[in-house]
Amino acid sequence: MKYRAEIDGLRALAVVPVILFHAGFDLFSGGFVGVDVFFVISGYLITTILISDIEKNKFSLINFYERRARRILPVLFFVMLACLPFAWFLMVPSQMEDFSQSLIAVSLFASNFLFWSESDYFAPAAEEKPLLHTWSLAVEEQYYFLFPIFLLLTWRYGRNRVFWLIAFLSLASLALSEWSWRNSPTANFYLAPTRAWELLAGSMSAFIVQKVGINKNNTLSFIGLFAILLTIFFYDKNTPFPSLYALPTVVGVVLIILFADKHTAVAKLLSTRVIVGIGLISYSAYLWHQPLFAFARIHAQESPSPTYMLILSAVSMGLAVLSWKFIETPFRDRALVSKKMVLYIAPVFLFFPLSLGLVGHAKNGFEGSLLTANQRSLLDTAINSPKRDDCHASKRDYFGYDDACEYFEGELKVAVFGDSHTVELAYALAKELAPTQQRLKHLSFSNCIPSYGILIDGYEDCSSWTNDAIGRLIDEDSIETVVVSYRINEALFGGHEATFPTLPSNRSKPEIEKIWQAYMDVLKALDENGKNVILVMQAPELKEPIERLIKRDQVSNGDLSGISKEWWLNRNQYVRSRISEIPKSIAIVDPTRLFCDETQCYAAKNGVAYYFDDDHMSIAGATVVAKRVVEKMGD
């Protein structure tokens, strides 16, 4: 295959925005499309090689996979190896267990399935996964495994028919992605069936170039470059992706492949020495950047500064140069590393991290080694509700009022209503009410902001569930008391995890007002229809998950500070300033009064954890609040 310097330039255009996007630079808000650029390039290059080998009757699956192993495995193995000491010293057991699972998944080229099951790619928690970025390698490897077999099976029908079959599959994949972003957005992002059309677009480009060559066209190649840049700078994490929105990126790459002849201005730009140099090290740079960023975020109690992240971006490039020179290049040299050696070494590159991952998973993230006895003892109290999996509704696991859980025996008199912050409260309150033979109904919906009587974009399921649940509570005469609890500060302003210690401000003033009024409407609707309403205010948020606080602290006296009271009062200032709007007939329980002294809000007291993460109360913390709720019920 004839070398095209502009393709390496395209790789640079892919990797730099991805790195700067993951570093948190808002200018590159759509930098994640760099992965899509890589997909199209991969489809083009691999198909070009396959067509050439098949037509020359020298194609071999073993040789193909051997070339892929030379390209992919050595640096991937070394990066995973380099992650191990940082994971050991910086991670808490739950993170180490997740990391161990990712080692397993990466070794099996199935990490896209793992991360699909774990988290949203754009969620703050995902930023602390060192191997998150390997999801795209998994998609490519799945393509590399299946596509050569597909070509071998279909080539007998003729080149044109194969091309049109690929076109049909590409359109079907695009249609699936357009459906999936509306119905299963996380699966849509991570899984190969909804990404295949991007790789297949590259494959179709290979067919065209192989048949008619590269047609010089400055205008079309410039449009291609402009389309890619447009998506890099104007898309963001709220853009449905992949979907029809990915077309400008994909078509942009295709236009450059087809029309950026070496004499065009775009090809000359992409072929400049520096850009090509970045393209040559792009694979290594892509592998290095995410572990560096993830471990930096894990280590820091505050969000790393832009300057620090820019330095780490440069470090990833420096490491990429070294790994390209001393690992990638030697392993791709058949004079230094024979085919036989690759076939012997490749299983080791996969089996070693796979084995470590299996051990780490089996040992629960090496909990016994990473924490002292005192730390383990305290962590053992940081538990959530045993009913969380079965009784907490969500967009993925939607169920309504009739299917909601009820605890325990007796007459149904009490309901707890709200978002995920009500789960442990409901269970703890039910335990407190059990001796009085009062049964409790648990109504909670994950990531559900106040939305009674309104419809908020992105929260349609939440709004529907809220309206139904409130209506049914009003009609349920046996329920006398309704306890309401929301993570109201996140609903109004966004989560603090990605910005701490800076306070988040993710919504406009009209949006904030709309949500606040919906919050008031929830309370007033219940109050005005004869319910005894008790509002449990949001518990103070911690500066980081309690497991990390425990690991950083020797926990000698059983008390563990979670956040300064000053920070929490500032975070909660808007709510405090409008609390007078709550009807006087509604009782208020404020965990701040229970968990904080004059200067600190505690994550644990007297050897008992009040939280199981950075904002949800544990059963023990919820019990402290539930006891106060019971007192209010008796007033």
Q: What is the pLDDT of residues 308-322, one digit of tens each?
A: 999 999 999 999 999
Report the pLDDT value the prediction gives residue 34, as an integer from 0 to 100: 96
Q: What percent of the chain has pLDDT over 90?
A: 83
User: Which three-class secondary structure state does DSSP give residue 414?
Assistant: strand
Q: Which domains does the chain have, with CATH numbers?
A: 5-36+66-135+213-367 (no CATH), 384-540+565-591+616-634 (3.40.50.1110)
Report the pLDDT value the prediction gives residue 59, as an integer from 0 to 100: 87
Burial (Cβ within 10 Å: 0-12, 13-18, ≥19) of residue 574: middle
Low-confidence ranges of the chain (pLDDT < 70): 1, 554-556, 635
Q: Are 294 and 130 in contact (CB under 8 A)?
A: yes
Report the pLDDT value the prediction gives residue 556, as an integer from 0 to 100: 63
Full DSSP string of 89-134? HH--HHHHHHHHHHHHHHHTT-HHHHHHHH--TTSGGGGG-TTGGG
Report the pLDDT value the prediction gives residue 190, as an integer from 0 to 100: 96
DSSP 8-state assignment for residue 326: I
pTM (2 d.p.): 0.87
Report the pLDDT value the prediction gives residue 108, as an integer from 0 to 100: 95
Report the pLDDT value the prediction gives residue 499, as an integer from 0 to 100: 85
Full DSSP string of 2-34? ---HHHHHHHHHHHHHHHHHHTT-GGGTTGGGH
Q: Which are the contacts of 541, defined by CB distance < 8 A and separation ≥ 6?
A: 489, 496, 563, 568, 571, 614, 615
Q: Which are the contacts of 8, defined by CB distance < 8 A and separation ≥ 6?
A: 270, 275, 276, 279, 280, 282
In 3D, which of 225, 321, 220, 237 has the Cα closest to residue 280? 321
